[in-house]
Amino acid sequence: MNKDALKNLSPEQKRAMLARLLAQKSAVGKTAFVLQGLYTICAMNNTPAWHMRSTIRFFHKQDPELLRSRMQRIVDRHPALRTTYYIPSDKEIEHLGRILAMRIDSTEFWEVCAERWVEQKVHPKHTLEFTVTDARDWTVEQLRERLMADALEGYDLTRLPVCRLRLYQRKNDDVMQFDIHHCAADLWSLEIIQSELEVPPQEPPPAGFPEFCTWQHAWYELPKAQEMREWWTTELKGCPNLALTHSEDHDVADFVPFQLESVLVSRAREVCPTHRATLFNMMLSTLQVTVGRMLGREEFAIGGAVANRPHQRFEQTVGFFAQLVLYRRNLEEFETWTQLWDANRTTIGEVLKRQFFPVTTATQAPRTDIWLMFQQYQKARWVEDDVPQGESLGLRSGGVVDSPLGPWEFLFVEPPYLSAPAMMEIVEQKDGMQGNFRFRTPCMTKRQAEMFANEFQDQLKKALADPHGSLRP
Any domain includes 215: no
Any domain includes 253: yes
Query: What residue spans of 275-392 are helical by DSSP H?
Result: 279-295, 337-353, 359-362
Any domain includes 182: yes
pLDDT tens for 396-444 read: 998 888 999 999 999 999 999 999 999 999 998 777 889 999 999 999 9
CA 211/CA 29 separation, integer angstroms: 10
Helix-helix angle 209-220:223-236, to 10 degrees: 80
> Is residue 139 located within the same domain as residue 269?
no
Q: Pairing relation of β-strands 163-169 and 174-181?
A: antiparallel
Nearest to 392 by CA among 196, 231, 173: 173
Any idea what the CATH number is for the domain that residue 91 is in? 3.30.559.10
pLDDT tens for 108-150 read: 999 999 999 999 999 999 999 999 999 999 999 999 999 999 9
Any domain includes 392: no
> Is residue 166 located within the same domain as residue 249?
no
> Is residue 173 located within the same domain as residue 303?
no
> Is residue 26 located within the same domain as residue 171?
yes
pLDDT of res. 261: 86
> Is residue 194 located within the same domain as residue 243?
no
Residue 472, amino acid = R
pLDDT of res. 380: 62
Any domain includes 430: yes
- What burial letters (b/e) apply to 217-251, b meaning 16+ CB within 10 Å? eeebeeeebeebbebbeebbeebeebebeebebeb
> Is residue 168 located within the same domain as residue 249?
no
Provide the residue-wise pLDDT of the chain in tens; the chain has 473 residues. Answer: 445 656 676 776 666 656 645 553 447 899 999 999 999 999 988 999 999 999 999 999 999 999 999 999 999 999 999 999 999 999 999 999 998 998 888 889 999 999 999 999 999 999 999 999 999 999 999 999 999 999 999 999 999 999 999 999 999 999 999 999 999 999 999 999 999 999 999 999 999 999 999 999 999 999 999 999 999 999 999 999 999 999 998 999 999 999 998 899 999 999 999 999 999 999 999 999 999 999 999 999 999 999 999 889 999 999 999 999 999 999 999 999 999 999 999 999 999 999 999 999 999 999 999 999 998 765 567 776 778 889 999 999 988 889 999 999 999 999 999 999 999 999 987 778 899 999 999 999 999 999 999 999 999 999 999 999 999 88
Among 165, 198, 231, the domain-final residue is 198
How much is the mean pLDDT over the chain? Answer: 92
Element containing residue 93 per DSSP (H, E): helix 92-103
198 neighbors 404 (Cβ within 8 angstroms): yes
> Is residue 189 located within the same domain as residue 234?
no
Question: Reduced to 3 states, what is the DSSP secondary structure of residue 74?
Answer: helix
Among 198, 214, 238, the domain-final residue is 198
Residue 336: DSSP 8-state: B
What residues are paired with 425 via a beta bridge?
373, 436
CA 97/CA 117 separation, integer angstroms: 13
How many domains are there within the chain?
2
27 neighbors 121 (Cβ within 8 angstroms): yes
Nearest to 197 by CA among 341, 284, 77, 286: 77
Any domain includes 410: no
Any domain includes 270: yes
Nearest to 54 by CA among 183, 140, 175, 169: 175
CA 206/CA 18 separation, integer angstroms: 12
Residue 440, amino acid = R
Any idea what the CATH number is for the domain that residue 313 is in? 3.30.559.30
Any domain includes 470: no
> Is residue 233 located within the same domain as residue 189?
no
Q: Which domain holds residue 231?
A: 223-381+415-465
> Is residue 188 located within the same domain as residue 309?
no
Nearest to 35 by CA among 80, 79, 78, 77: 80
> Is residue 96 located within the same domain as residue 235?
no
pLDDT of res. 22: 55
> Is residue 292 located within the same domain as residue 438?
yes
> Is residue 145 located within the same domain as residue 272?
no
154 neighbors 50 (Cβ within 8 angstroms): no
Nearest to 120 by CA among 89, 156, 77, 80: 80
Question: Reduced to 3 states, what is the DSSP secondary structure of residue 449?
Answer: helix
